[in-house]
Amino acid sequence: MEGYSPRLLDLIPKEREWLVQRDEEERKHGASEEKKLELRLGPPGQEEDWTRKNNSTRKINDERSLFSLGYFPNVGQNTNTNTFMIQAQKAQFQLQPTTTPQGLSVMGKESSQSCSTKVADLQNAAEKKMAFSPAPAANTAGPNSSQKRTAPGPVVGWPPIRSFRKNLAGTSSSKPQPESQSVVPNKVSSENPVDSCPKGLFVKINMDGVPIGRKVDLKAYESYDKLASAVDELFRGLLAAQMDSSAGRIQNKQESEKAITGLLDGSGEYTLVYEDNEGDRMLVGDVPWHMFVSTVKRLRVLKSSELSTLRLNSKQEKVPLGADMR
Amino acid sequence: MSHDPAEMSEDDERPPPADRGRAEYADQVLENVLENVLVFLTCRRDRNSVSLVCKSWCRAEALTRSELFIGNCYAVSPARATERFERVRSVALKGKPRFADFSLLPPDWGAHFAPWASAMAGAYPGLEKVYLKRMSVTDEDLAVLARSFPRFKELALVCCEGFGTSGLAVVANHCRQLRVLDLIESEVTDDEVDWISFFPDGGTSLESLIFDCVECPINFDALERLVARSSSLKKLRLNRYISIGQLYRLMIRAPQLTHLGTGSFSPSEIVQQGDQEPDYASAFAACRSLVCLSGFREIIPDYLPAIYPVCANLTSLNFSYANINAAQLRSVISRCHKLQILWVLDSICDEGLQAVAATCKDLRELRVFPIDAMENNEGPVSDVGFLAIAEGCRKLQSILYFCQQMTNAAVVAMSNNCPDLMVFRLCIIPRYRADRITGEPMDEGFGAIVKNCKKLTRLAVSGLLTDRAFSYFGQYGKLVQTLSVAFNGDSDMGLKYVLEGCSSLQKLEIRDSPFGDSALLSGLHHYYNMRFLWMSSCRVTRRGCREIARQMPGLVVEVFSWNNNAQDRGEENDIVETLYMYRSLARRVDAPKYVEIL
């Protein structure tokens, strides 16, 4: 096989991508593919008519590759006119964030390219409801055109760098600093898909006597009673385990567990309290449920005997758990 | 005994009772002898061979295997593993496929440690070491570990998630013989538990405490006291919440350290000119055994001279979070003549790599990470720096290199200059990018690597590659065990070349490449020899995957669909988004709804 020599199918004005076909045979096919793509794809925001049923033409009937490349013009940087900068673009997908991949619409990016792998991608896009937020373009392949094209966005998982290695630019500076460096520097921390998911409302919950905290999704419960029973389920086992350990025995079987009751009315050994968005500690159950959900920041299961100290102070400072537990 | 065991086994007639007793006794002696010999066998591949000799050898080997390594947690069930191997003291488990690191695996896919934890809790009371990679570990799992194994000594969690500081607190508190607590590239949720305070009072046996990936503040006073009472501590890797002033205080308490992760390497407050600062260089100078330095999470390069005293002895230096330029790197690297492992950011530019090449003649492993992960026309490092390394660092064994531009010539040069290369991972960030100078595909460069580097076991490719490149891989890559492909190839032939030619292939991960059913089916002869095959955004259809599953019952063939509806999985001719298949003696029972097992 010879070295690769690209042939231009179509020179399109600067704002749009250059389409290149690999050989004559595939030209026509590619062109019609390209046309189909151009017709089908619109700018993000439009409903994408890309259901699986319409993919009949895209089902792989033959094995011949439809490989073709999309080219983007160099924005005056590369003076070597013999070399084409090949930058394939992928369709951009939009996500309604959810922890399970369902019920999402896929919107293809209109800056199409007749790359066969992109065809596969777009097909897969209909099945694949993944997303990422578009980053501003580092290179300008067409986003400044009057046509509504989004900036070339990043591809999921490409380049293959783990998330904690990203966003490292600007982490260094010289000694005399204009603003103080806080102990908690402002950096993008590693992703936690659960936390960033707006569909669920996860709050931390800790229990006295149990070093293991949990998280609960408040959206999963519609009432205080359901929340209370969930808390009981969550901590029953852990509490029993903790009792065993503190008694000095090593157990690896489940001991008989006592149900945790009376969380809401003060009648039980434990009471459920929460910290609201103003930092105040409140008893759970006083306000209507939806108001609770909108102001709660974290939950605690306290020993009811501790409550009297609470009531004396309207604003509690958070006591570091380390001190509590010792 | 004068009986010849071989003779006895061939003897069909039942020996008279007295002889039978002696026969069994002879067997027993043999097995005891065998066990005593096999104890010395540590290499697991050798052990696997031993276990195939005959049943009694298999039994003896199983009784003497103390280190259990399971490369795919779904290849065997916990029950089966614990039944066969009764006296295990160390377990290593790997879970998710590597592409999970790049968000290509949907959440909650699996690799739960919990069933293993509970199986081992019952079966291995003497368990001492656990190593987990890409597993989903919960706080409860850590609690099970802490409670169930009184002799527990070493815990290493690499690329794991699902647990938080609560779980760490339980481990710290209950594992009284803990020597190693290594958290590497794992996601640790901040439960606002002061886990460092949970280590027991009094002296500890800690030898290694690695928590640089933990993204939450640490109780420094507790840490300082812990370091002070851990006289065996050799490895300490701090997270970015530890300032350089705090680092100083720790270092003067632990001059015996061999591995140090420096934390943020910057002060916690504004430091004015003329402020009294500790003599950081003297603290480093006091650490005479320091060979491995990392951290520098929020480095202020003015403080770099502090590490000069240790440079001459350094064998490993990790600057991969340090945004430093060529001159700053040179000031350090020019002193590091013994360096074998170097991780850097591409902020050092080609010039910085030239400085590395000039000094680090003993370099074995180089990793160059990009500061800016976007596809660009130019980047700070290119084939120029790559070529410098090829010419200067002839002993190179492993390279991971991210860049925007590359040439075949530079890659060919490395293939000729670095015959010891075992791991070659080149990531040209812009997809489908050709040779910067010639405009040709990168076929010849990567081809030269497989052809000339006779020890090559791991290869990751990028850039514009045609099927020709894959024909080279198949033709020359006879020792290649791991191959990663992304946005490469023209047709099914590419994958066919690899599956038919790479006889040592164990792990194959492919994304966004035009390989379909025909190629998939050409690997049937080999799939049982492999750990796994991953193909995402390729062109394999459900029909093709089902055919594999039908013909190879020893494989688990997972196909990910994007709806949870079992009835609406899609038609047979539909292209499958992700195929993940692996050899296995077990069926998955915990697969999420979007995983279809064919």
How confident is the prediction for chain B on average, in pLDDT? 93
Chain A residues with CB-CB distance to B300 below 8 A: 172-175
CB atoms inside a 10 Å sphere around CB B459: 24
Q: What is the pLDDT of residue A172?
A: 53
Q: What is the pLDDT of residue A140?
A: 38
Q: What is the pLDDT of residue B311?
A: 98
Question: Taking 80 as the threshold, does the pLDDT of residue B595 lie above it?
Answer: yes
Q: What is the pLDDT of residue A306?
A: 76
Question: Taking 70 as the threshold, does the pLDDT of residue B397 lie above it?
Answer: yes
Chain A residues with CB-CB distance to B577 below 8 A: 124, 127-128
Q: How confident is the model at residue A300 (pLDDT cuts 50, 70, 90)?
A: confident
Q: Which two tokens stand for residue A161?
A: 């760098």
Range among A215-229, B4-18, B59-73, B419-433 with highest mean pLDDT value: B419-433
Q: What is the pLDDT of residue A89?
A: 39
Q: What is the pLDDT of residue A32?
A: 46
Chain A residues with CB-CB distance to B173 below 8 A: 211
Question: Taking 70 as the threshold, does the pLDDT of residue A136 lie above it?
Answer: no
Q: What is the pLDDT of residue B275?
A: 77
Tell me if A183 and B268 make a contact (CB, 8 A cut-off): yes
By mean pLDDT, which of A79-93, A193-207, B80-94, B453-467 is the weakest?
A: A79-93
How confident is the prediction for chain A on average, in pLDDT? 55
Encoded amino acid at B444, one letter: E
Instruction: State residue B383 phi and psi, 5-degree precision.
Output: -65, -20
Q: Which residues in chain B (550-569) have CB-CB distances under 8 A to chain A?
A: 561-564
| Nearest residue on chain A to B216, alpha-carbon basis | A184
CA distance A226 to chain B (A): 23
CB atoms inside a 10 Å sphere around CB B249: 18
**pLDDT tens sequence across A227-242:** 888 888 888 777 776 6
CA distance B323 to chain A (A): 6
Chain A residues with CB-CB distance to B433 below 8 A: 85-87
Q: What is the pLDDT of residue A296?
A: 85
Q: What is the pLDDT of residue B296?
A: 97
Q: What is the pLDDT of residue B448?
A: 98
Question: Taking 70 as the threshold, does the pLDDT of residue B489 lie above it?
Answer: yes
Taking the Cβ of residue B320 and every Cβ of chain A, the question of whether any pair is shorter than 8 Å is answered with yes
DSSP codes joined into one string, B381-438: --HHHHHHHHHH-TT--EEEEEES---HHHHHHHHHH-TT--EEEEEESSTT---TTT
Tell me if A116 and B514 make a contact (CB, 8 A cut-off): yes
Round to whole Å and give the CA distance between B122 and B128.
14
Q: What is the pLDDT of residue A220?
A: 80
Q: Which of B99, B300, B323 sits opposite A157 (nearest CB)?
A: B99
Round to whole Å and give the CA distance between B73 and B100.
15
Round to whole Å and give the CA distance between B120 and B123.
5
Q: How confident is the model at residue A249 (pLDDT cuts 50, 70, 90)?
A: very low
Question: Taking 60 as the threshold, does the pLDDT of residue B12 lie above it?
Answer: no
Tell me if B140 and A238 make a contact (CB, 8 A cut-off): yes
Chain A residues with CB-CB distance to B270 below 8 A: 176-177, 179-181
CB atoms inside a 10 Å sphere around CB A132: 15
Q: What is the pLDDT of residue A62?
A: 41
Q: How confident is the model at residue A92 (pLDDT cuts 50, 70, 90)?
A: very low
Q: What percentage of chain B has pLDDT greater than the value 90?
A: 83
Q: Is B447 left (phi over 0), alpha (psi -120 to 50) or beta?
A: alpha
CB distance B556 to B587 below 8 Å: yes
Question: Taking 70 as the threshold, does the pLDDT of residue B84 lie above it?
Answer: yes
A291-300: average pLDDT: 84
Q: What is the pLDDT of residue A247?
A: 53
Question: Taking 70 as the threshold, does the pLDDT of residue A158 lie above it?
Answer: yes
Q: What is the pLDDT of residue B544?
A: 95
* Bridge-based pairing state of the strands B316-318 and B578-583: unpaired
Question: Taking 70 as the threshold, does the pLDDT of residue B580 lie above it?
Answer: yes
By mean pLDDT, which of A6-20, B18-32, B172-186 is the weakest?
A: A6-20
Question: Taking 90 as the threshold, does the pLDDT of residue A113 lie above it?
Answer: no
Question: Taking 50 as the threshold, does the pLDDT of residue A48 lie above it?
Answer: no
Question: Taking 50 as the threshold, does the pLDDT of residue B465 lie above it?
Answer: yes
Q: Which two tokens stand for residue B389?
A: 């390394």
Question: Taking 50 as the threshold, does the pLDDT of residue B83 lie above it?
Answer: yes
Chain B residues with CB-CB distance to A175 below 8 A: 271, 273, 300, 302
Q: How confident is the model at residue A219 (pLDDT cuts 50, 70, 90)?
A: confident
Question: Taking 80 as the threshold, does the pLDDT of residue A173 lie above it?
Answer: no
**pLDDT tens sequence across B269-312:** 877 777 788 999 999 999 999 999 999 999 999 999 999 999 99
Q: What is the pLDDT of residue B16?
A: 54
Chain B residues with CB-CB distance to A240 below 8 A: none
Q: Which residues in chain B (354-413) have CB-CB distances under 8 A to chain A?
A: 369-378, 402
| Nearest residue on chain A to B430, alpha-carbon basis | A87
Q: How confident is the model at residue A171 (pLDDT cuts 50, 70, 90)?
A: low
Total residues belonging to chain A: 326
Q: Which of A4, A129, A179 sits opposite B466 (nearest CB)?
A: A4
DSSP structural state of residue A46: B
Tell me if A183 and B106 make a contact (CB, 8 A cut-off): no
Q: Which of A78, A212, A321 sits opposite B377 (nearest CB)?
A: A78
CB distance A191 to A306 below 8 Å: no
Chain B residues with CB-CB distance to A1 below 8 A: 466-468
Question: Taking 80 as the threshold, does the pLDDT of residue B263 lie above it?
Answer: yes
User: From the candidates B226, B328, B537, which should be mutated to test the interface with A, based on the most A CB atoms within 10 A?
Assistant: B537
CB distance B293 to A138 below 8 Å: no
Q: What is the pLDDT of residue B378?
A: 94
B177-196: average pLDDT: 96
Tell me if B512 and A117 make a contact (CB, 8 A cut-off): yes
Q: What is the pLDDT of residue B570?
A: 75
**pLDDT tens sequence across B419-429:** 999 999 999 99
Question: Taking 70 as the threshold, does the pLDDT of residue A74 lie above it?
Answer: no
Question: Taking 50 as the threshold, does the pLDDT of residue B1 lie above it?
Answer: no
Chain A residues with CB-CB distance to B151 below 8 A: none
Question: Taking 70 as the threshold, does the pLDDT of residue B373 lie above it?
Answer: yes
Q: What is the pLDDT of residue B17?
A: 56
Tell me if A158 and B431 make a contact (CB, 8 A cut-off): yes
Question: Taking 80 as the threshold, does the pLDDT of residue A88 lie above it?
Answer: no
Chain A residues with CB-CB distance to B164 below 8 A: 213
Q: What is the pLDDT of residue B464?
A: 97
Tell me if B377 and A166 make a contact (CB, 8 A cut-off): no
- What ranges in B425-534 are assigned the alpha helix state H? 443-452, 467-476, 492-501, 517-521
Question: Taking 60 as the threshold, does the pLDDT of residue A286 lie above it?
Answer: yes
A12-20: average pLDDT: 41
Q: How confident is the model at residue A130 (pLDDT cuts 50, 70, 90)?
A: very low
What ipTM did this prediction achieve? 0.88
Strands (E), chain A: 7-10, 18-21, 68-71, 202-207, 210-217, 270-276, 281-283, 296-303
| Nearest residue on chain A to B344, alpha-carbon basis | A165
A287-309: average pLDDT: 82
Q: How confident is the model at residue A256 (pLDDT cuts 50, 70, 90)?
A: low
Q: What is the pLDDT of residue B308?
A: 98
Q: Which residues, in sequence order, are bridge partners of residue A44? A: A46
B226-250: average pLDDT: 97
B419 vs A99 pLDDT, higher one: B419
Question: Taking 90 as the threshold, does the pLDDT of residue B73 lie above it?
Answer: yes
From B468, B318, B393, B165, select the one nearest A206 (Cα to Cα).
Answer: B165
Q: What is the pLDDT of residue A204?
A: 80
Q: What is the pLDDT of residue B188?
A: 96
Q: What is the pLDDT of residue B300?
A: 94
CA distance A210 to chain B (A): 9
Q: What percentage of chain A has pLDDT greater than the value 70?
A: 32
> Can you give the pTM of this predicted structure?
0.70
| Nearest residue on chain A to B374, alpha-carbon basis | A138
Q: How confident is the model at residue B268 (pLDDT cuts 50, 70, 90)?
A: confident
B221-246: average pLDDT: 97
Round to whole Å and give the CA distance between A41 and A39.
6
Q: What is the pLDDT of residue B20?
A: 64
